[in-house]
Structures are given as structure tokens and as C-alpha cells.
Chain A
Amino acid sequence: MATIELKNVHAEVAEGDEEILHGVDLEVESGEIHALMGPNGSGKSTTSKVIAGHPAYDVTEGEIILHLEAADFDGIDEIPESARTWNLLELEPNERAALGVFLAFQYPAEIEGVTMTNFLRTALNAKLEERDELLFGEGEDEDEDEDAGYETSPMEGPADEGEVGVAEFQQLLSEKMELLDMDEKFAQRYLNAGFSGGEKKQNEVLQAAILEPTIAVLDEIDSGLDIDRLQDVADGINALRDEQGTGVLQITHYQRILDYVEPDTVHIMLNGEIAMEGGPELAEKLEDKGYDWVREQVYNAA
């Protein structure tokens, strides 16, 4: 059971002193789906970026703690006591990724010239290697890697480098792509380059499926999706939870996706703080009554 805990997180833009998050408290566990909603500018995206370690934000107060157990990872029987609790704020973005934190971007980057296959296999192997190093304080046998030659095209990367080989990876990739109803041609396209808005979102979910995160933060994964793709993406998110036990924090503006991916908990953010929490019915209420209703409730009650 993995848990991510945000405790009184204050954050500001790195180049400037404007505070955006004024003490966010949030907890997501494995197997749970949480929705994070709120008006524009309330700090939802900033929360997601702070979790992933975006260098443009400084956390000035509070902490983000990740608790891990062996059961969170396939093929790991035991994690040393000292490696079960992590302060994410002390880790680089790639180290956070190695421990299973995944961020689906609202606006994924387009990387020309790097095929999906090459990128995803490289990322998966980098992640697994770094994870073992963090959890067990040891790298893979590096000498072996050093001797690996190029047996495939150099554009595909060294054939026998890393834990997951080319053939095994191809297998994994086609399975996951089928699950998401993605065309096989995607595998040879350049990472997000020229993808439509919907394809990019689908691709974010595909990456999550491949990298098997413990905690996935999905920033507006539903924006720009037509109804068929929304269904595919929702299937992908549910599969993350059901098959991999991922804890999901889903940032959204709309009730619509929550019809397909039913949240256990809904958090509403106002002005850089969690203002209200409740079950799935809260999202429906919000859809009816809007954020003014939330403001009324919160500020009048105060």
C-alpha cells in the first residue's frame, strides 16, 4: 500500500515571490481515485507540478511524504525499513519517477526525432535502475551495460542495455496500446510530435500504463477528448487502479470523466488550499451549483 501525503504545502514561483499554494493538505492511497477540482488559477496544476518536482516552483513550507511497501512493486519481496518513507522534496524529478510518482501533463512536451518506442523503453529501464538504486542502494551490474554494443539501429538504442530488452518491451507496448485502443503506428511516431490534443492525452495514459506508477497525478487528462477517446482514457485509468493498484489523483474541471472514472474522494481547491472534501456526490453538486456555492459554504461558515 503506497500513500502520498501533502502536509501544509506552501509553494511559490521560483523566479518571484508570489505564493500560489497556501498550505495544501491531501492524501492519496494505492487503489484509490481522488478528484481534485477547482476554478482556474486555484492551484491545481501547481499542486501536480510540485508533486513531480518541477523546477519552476519552490516549496517554502510543508512536506510531501511518500510511503511505500514491497507490494507496490512487481517482483519485490521486501523493501528495507529505511527505504519505505521518502520526503519527495529532497528528490530529483527522475528519482520521484523511479519511486512510482507519475504526472500526466496537461500540455505534454513534443520531442522531435525520438520515437515512442525508444523513449518509453529508455525511460522504463532508467526508472527500474534508479528504483533499485534508491530502494536497495545498488545499481545494476554496470560493467555489463558498458560492454553492451549496438546490435540494432543506433536510433533504437543499444539492444541489450537495461532490464527490459527490445523484444520484451515490444510485447509490453503492443499489449498496452491495444488496451487503450491505440494504433500500432504510434510506436514509431516521434514523441507527441504532431499528435492531436486527444492523442497526446491518450499517450499520457499509455506511458502511465507502461511505467506502472504507484501514484499517478493526472492533470486535466480529459480536456480536449472526444467522447470515444474519453472512454478509452477512462478505461486506461480504471485499469491502472484495478490491475496495478495505482493511487490516482485526477485534476479536472468537469463531472463528465467522473461518470466513467468514479472517484472515492473529491477535493475542491480554492485560492491555493483544499476548501472542501466529500464523496462522488460532491462533484455532481458542484456541476449543478458552481464554485460560488463552494465559496459561500466555505467563507460563510468561517
Chain B
Amino acid sequence: MSSEENLQETDTEARFEFKKEQHSAFQSEKGLTEETIRLISEDKDEPDWMLERRLRALKQYKKMPMPTDWPGQPDLSELDVEEIVPYIRPDVETRGGAENWEDLPDEIQDTFEKLGIPEAEREALSGVGAQYESEVVYQNMQERWEEKGVIFCNMDEAVQEHEEIVKEHFMTNCVPASDNKFAALHGAVWSGGSFVYIPEDVTVEMPVQAYFRMNSEGMGQFEHTLIIAEEGSEVHYIEGCSAPKYGTHNLHSGGVEVFVKEDAHVQYSTVQNWSKNTFNLNTKRAIVEENGTMEWISGSMGSKATMLYPSSILKGRGATDNHITIAFAGEGQDIDTGAKVYHNAPDTKSTIESKSIAKDGGRTNYRGLVHIADGAEDSSTSVECDALMFDNESTSDTMPYMEINESKVDVAHEATVGKIGDEDVFYLQSRGLDDDDAKQMIVAGFIEPITEELPIEYAVELNRLIELEMEGSLG
């Protein structure tokens, strides 16, 4: 597929930070009570079992303590969940896109102007033109997919329309609400997100894309994504996130569950650019059956604090996991990301590549776990994490935990932590690049092994975002 087609299918209103007027049909009271949960469930007209799951999750949430004792973890003390309105139903009527760039509201145009995005890209990124067409494209895709039995819909809709399969998979054995405090919170107040079902032996050629934005002050975002890839199927799911800036602390606590059945292949890619006051605390997990392959690709930009460790449970013989993560932390940001892989069967394989960049006192941390169970013979894992710092104020740590309970395995680990080299910068300067451009080139080179694996529009967006972050023109 050409890059142009890729861009055209970008089904998004805008991928960067801007705020729209808040038009909502319904807004729950602040704070988190059983009544709030009942209200949410009632508003969505959910079946009883879902309400029960929500209430159970709420109990879990109330019971579990805040994580505060992880070594070097981000400070969550400023996060006050009670203050965050957990649920807003977006007013669907006013969500339509604009056909022309000129039709976009001034403030959106302004924001793009400030971001310095060239016109050609603005249109693609904002979905102008493509927005209208993408509806058509989407419709066509929808029809073609439906013939093959593919389902791609809103998670809320899935609860109604595909109740049995959702009931079986939704926060049961992949990410139970009891997993961690924020998974529990998510289970209680989740709203929106995507449901993707790929039947046996079906390959979805085009990436399935979904975009989430927070555009109401103090609003939490708790979207749930459930992907089920049946035997021998293949799908690439892309998710982009960006949130506008507001005064109070935002919380994003999404949940992603992926079921990779025998011989299936799922790729999940995301570039997240949350506003600098967002707490981004997610739980993402995949269960991979025999000879299945799960690939996690994530770029973590923005946010005040991020804690994100996509995990794969390699349950069947010969299952494979690939993790690719990029993190960027500027002033006041603490990006704590990593990967978790459980090798629970023989001949399983995982590779983790992580790159992080810290600047102006920002902090990045790689926190990872590779667990190889007793009996998971002939399994192999390779972990590589590199951190690059711009200055002495920035910090970076690497915590690659390994629990190896089987002796017949192949384990490789490599980590580098370094400061951007003065000699390297001088070398590039002596060829005509100014100080900023020289550093930018070094950073682009540093993450190149990862950007070359991203879909083209993501590579473009990521490079652009990093350039903007480095120029200090964001936030």
C-alpha cells in the first residue's frame, strides 16, 4: 500500500492537541460512587452482567492501594481520581468533520499553525477532505469486511450487538479488574473504545485505525479495546491518541485486551501524545496461542506521567512476541514504560527493543519483565534498551527484570544509557548544521531502527512530534 493511501485512510479529526467546544449530551457528577457507575451503565442501556462487572471492579478499586512502592516510579500523588469526571458521552450529532480546511474552527487552525505542520500534512492529519472520504472508504471497508465476518465497531455497541463474545472475553482472563488498581478503575468506568473480531483465516489487509481524544476539561478517558483474532487470521490495529491541554489533571486509563489464537498474527501500533498534565496509566495485554504472533509498537510522547507496560502471555508452543517502544520525556515529564512477556510454553520467542530520550530534566525509565516458566524449553528472549539524555538534569533508568525458571533457554540482554555526545554534535556542526539541527539528527538516528518499522504516517508523525518537542514549541 502506498503511503498516500495510508494517509487517506487516516480516520481522525485531528491528531494533535487542540480543544473543541465541549458539547455533550450527558455528563456525570464528579467523583466515583456506585451511583455514578449505575448511571453510566443505565445511560448505555447495558445488560446486567456488565453492570455487575463494573460494580465488582469498583469494589476492587476501592480496596486496592495506590502503587507507591515501585522503585523509581512516577509520582502519582497529584492524581485525584475523585476530581476527575469519569464519564462523558460525546455528543455524536456534533462530531461531524469539516470538508475543507477553511471550515475548521479558527482555534484548530491556530493550533496547527503553532505546531508548524505544513498544509499538505495538516489536511491529512486533521482528516479534512480525507475525513469525508474516509467515511466512504470506511463504509466500503465495512462492507468488504462484513462479507468475511470481520467486526469492527465501538465497544459500547459491541456489548449490545455481540453480547456473547464480549461477555466471554471482556476483562475475564486477559485483564481482570483485579490486575491492578487502574485496571480496576478502568473496569468500573470504561467507556468507548473498539471491538475488533477477525474470523478464522481472514487477513485484514488495511490497518484498522481508531483515534481517541480527550476534549473536555477534567475528563478521564477509559476506553476499552478488545481484539480477537481467530485461528490463522491477521490484523494490524492502529491507535492514535492526543489530548488538548487543560488546567486540571487529566487521567487516561485505557484497557487493551488481545486474543491471538493459533497461527494468528496481531500487530498493535500506537503513538500517544497526551497533553502535559495527563496521567497516562494503562493496562494492555495479549494472550498468544500456539504459533501465534503478537507485536506491540508504541511511541509514548506527552503526558505528565506515563506508566505503560504492554504484556504478552505466550501460552501456546511456538508463540512469538515483539515489542518496540519509544519514549520521550521533556521538562516535568516522567515516562515509565516497558514490556512484560511470560513464556509459558516451549519454543516461545520474544524480542524487546526500547529507546528513550530525556531532555530538560525529563525522566524516562525502562521497566520490563521477562518470565520464562519451568518447562518452557527452547524458548528465547532478547531485550535491548537504549536511553539517550540531552543534559545532566535529565535522568534515565533501566530495570530489566528477568525470571528464568528453565535452563534450556537462550537469553540475551543489552542496555545502554548515554548522554548525547559533544564530539558527535561538534562533528555535525562542523559540517554546517546548527546546534539544534545536529542534536535533532542524532536523535532521529537514535530512534531510526524503530521508526523504520512504523507505518509511514506514524513515522512522519513521530519524527515531527519529536522535532517539535526538541524545539520546545510544544507545551
- Count of chain B residues near A, Cβ 8 A: 35
Q: Could you give 6 example pairs across A and B, Cβ below 8 Å?
A: A52-B430, A97-B429, A97-B431, A124-B432, A154-B460, A190-B445
Nearest chain A residue, comparing its CB with the CB of B446: A113
Per-position contact with B for A148-174: 1 when CB-CB < 8 Å, else 0? 111001110000000000000000000
Q: Are A126 and B433 in contact (CB under 8 A)?
A: yes
Alpha-carbon distance between A197 and B12 when the two chains are bound, in angstroms = 50
Alpha-carbon distance between A113 and B450 when the two chains are bound, in angstroms = 10
- Chain B residues 438-464 with CB under 8 Å of chain A are 438, 441-442, 444-449, 451-452, 456, 459-460, 463
Cβ-based interface call for A140 (8 A) = no
Complex interface: chain B residues within 8 A of A154 (CB): 451, 456, 459-460, 463
CB distance from A269 to the nearest CB of B (A): 21
CB distance from A78 to the nearest CB of B (A): 23
CB distance from A2 to the nearest CB of B (A): 17
Cβ-based interface call for A147 (8 A) = yes
Complex interface: chain A residues within 8 A of B426 (CB): 52, 54-55, 93, 109
A112-B446 contact given A52-B430, A93-B426, A123-B433, CB 8 Å threshold:
yes
CB distance from B418 to the nearest CB of A (A): 11
Cβ-based interface call for B69 (8 A) = no
In the complex, which of the residues B429, B435, B449, B456 contacts A113, with contact meaning CB atoms closer than 8 Å?
B449
Q: Are B456 and A153 in contact (CB under 8 A)?
A: yes
Q: Are B434 and A92 in contact (CB under 8 A)?
A: yes
CB distance from A45 to the nearest CB of B (A): 13
Cβ-based interface call for B116 (8 A) = yes
Complex interface: chain B residues within 8 A of A211 (CB): 431-432
CB distance from A260 to the nearest CB of B (A): 25
CB distance from B443 to the nearest CB of A (A): 9
Q: Are B448 and A147 in contact (CB under 8 A)?
A: no
Q: Are A111 and B120 in contact (CB under 8 A)?
A: no
Complex interface: chain B residues within 8 A of A53 (CB): 429-430
Cβ-based interface call for A237 (8 A) = no
Alpha-carbon distance between A114 and B439 when the two chains are bound, in angstroms = 12
A123-B448 contact given A146-B118, A150-B121, A150-B460, CB 8 Å threshold:
no
Complex interface: chain A residues within 8 A of B446 (CB): 112-113
Q: Are A94 and B434 in contact (CB under 8 A)?
A: yes
- Chain B residues 388-419 with CB under 8 Å of chain A are none
Nearest chain B residue, comparing its CB with the CB of A102: B430
In the complex, which of the residues B121, B431, B441 contacts A149, with contact meaning CB atoms closer than 8 Å?
B121
Cβ-based interface call for A63 (8 A) = no
Nearest chain B residue, comparing its CB with the CB of A97: B432
Cβ-based interface call for A98 (8 A) = yes
Cβ-based interface call for A10 (8 A) = no
Alpha-carbon distance between A93 and B425 when the two chains are bound, in angstroms = 10
- Chain A residues 124-142 with CB under 8 Å of chain B are 124, 126-127, 130
Q: Are B118 and A149 in contact (CB under 8 A)?
A: yes
20 more contacts with CB within 8 A, not counting A97-B431, A114-B445, are A52-B426, A52-B430, A55-B422, A55-B426, A56-B422, A92-B429, A94-B432, A94-B435, A102-B430, A105-B427, A109-B427, A111-B427, A114-B442, A126-B434, A130-B434, A147-B118, A149-B119, A154-B456, A155-B452, A191-B445
A109-B423 contact given A114-B441, A114-B445, A122-B437, CB 8 Å threshold:
yes
Q: Are B427 and A108 in contact (CB under 8 A)?
A: yes
Alpha-carbon distance between A150 and B432 when the two chains are bound, in angstroms = 22
CB distance from B271 to the nearest CB of A (A): 13
Per-position contact with A for B132-173: 1 when CB-CB < 8 Å, else 0? 000000000000000000000000000000000000000000
CB distance from A12 to the nearest CB of B (A): 17
Complex interface: chain B residues within 8 A of A153 (CB): 456, 459
- Chain A residues 30-86 with CB under 8 Å of chain B are 52-56
Cβ-based interface call for B47 (8 A) = no
Cβ-based interface call for B421 (8 A) = yes
Cβ-based interface call for A214 (8 A) = no
CB distance from B10 to the nearest CB of A (A): 14
CB distance from A214 to the nearest CB of B (A): 13
Alpha-carbon distance between A147 and B112 when the two chains are bound, in angstroms = 12
Q: Are A113 and B444 in contact (CB under 8 A)?
A: yes
Complex interface: chain A residues within 8 A of B447 (CB): 113
Q: Are A111 and B118 in contact (CB under 8 A)?
A: no
Q: Are B444 and A114 in contact (CB under 8 A)?
A: yes
Complex interface: chain A residues within 8 A of B432 (CB): 94, 97-98, 123-124, 126-127, 130, 211
Alpha-carbon distance between A54 and B429 when the two chains are bound, in angstroms = 10
Complex interface: chain B residues within 8 A of A92 (CB): 429, 434-435
Cβ-based interface call for A119 (8 A) = yes
Alpha-carbon distance between A166 and B326 when the two chains are bound, in angstroms = 29
Alpha-carbon distance between A93 and B430 when the two chains are bound, in angstroms = 5
Alpha-carbon distance between A149 and B463 when the two chains are bound, in angstroms = 13
Complex interface: chain A residues within 8 A of B433 (CB): 94, 122-123, 126
In the complex, which of the residues A111, A130, A190 contacts B428, with contact meaning CB atoms closer than 8 Å?
A111
Complex interface: chain B residues within 8 A of A252 (CB): none
Cβ-based interface call for B45 (8 A) = no
Cβ-based interface call for B75 (8 A) = no
Complex interface: chain B residues within 8 A of A114 (CB): 441-442, 444-445, 448
Complex interface: chain B residues within 8 A of A97 (CB): 429-432
Cβ-based interface call for B471 (8 A) = no
Cβ-based interface call for A207 (8 A) = yes
Alpha-carbon distance between A92 and B434 when the two chains are bound, in angstroms = 8
Q: Are A123 and B451 in contact (CB under 8 A)?
A: no
Complex interface: chain A residues within 8 A of B452 (CB): 155
Complex interface: chain A residues within 8 A of B444 (CB): 113-114, 155
Alpha-carbon distance between A207 and B441 when the two chains are bound, in angstroms = 17
In the complex, which of the residues B119, B120, B428, B449 contacts A123, with contact meaning CB atoms closer than 8 Å?
B428
CB distance from A187 to the nearest CB of B (A): 16
Cβ-based interface call for A103 (8 A) = yes
In the complex, which of the residues A55, A119, A146, A148 contacts B441, with contact meaning CB atoms closer than 8 Å?
A119
Q: Are A127 and B431 in contact (CB under 8 A)?
A: yes
Nearest chain B residue, comparing its CB with the CB of A190: B445
Cβ-based interface call for B424 (8 A) = yes
Alpha-carbon distance between A114 and B448 when the two chains are bound, in angstroms = 8
